[in-house]
Amino acid sequence: MEASRKPLAKIGGRRRMPFSGLAIAWRGTPSLDDWVAYIVRTKSKKFILADHVSERKVKTLLSRLKTMSKKEVEQLAKG
């Protein structure tokens, strides 16, 4: 007889960066390397900043993005 497992909890968030004015969203599962961070856009597709990374890398990226300009953030997403 198999024991049923609870599904893993997903966490997500959204923050507007003060200097660039861009909205950055992220989501993932704690203790797994499946986190993604992206620039939220309404008209065009999403620019992905980080994909399949740890929660720590996403949080570090968010703190770095606070002081970057809009042009620098978009260049980071495309590169």
* Average pLDDT per consecutive 10 residues, the chain (79 residues; last block may be shorter): 78 93 94 92 80 94 94 87
* Contact predicate 12/1, CB 8 Å: no
Predicted local confidence at residue 6, as pLDDT: 80
Predicted local confidence at residue 34, as pLDDT: 93
Predicted local confidence at residue 1, as pLDDT: 57
- Please state the pTM of the whole predicted model: 0.83
* Contact predicate 22/14, CB 8 Å: no
Predicted local confidence at residue 39, as pLDDT: 92
Interatomic CA distance for residues 8 and 29, integer angstroms: 7
* Contact predicate 49/61, CB 8 Å: yes
Interatomic CA distance for residues 41 and 24, integer angstroms: 9
* Contact predicate 8/27, CB 8 Å: no
Predicted local confidence at residue 42, as pLDDT: 64
Predicted local confidence at residue 53, as pLDDT: 95
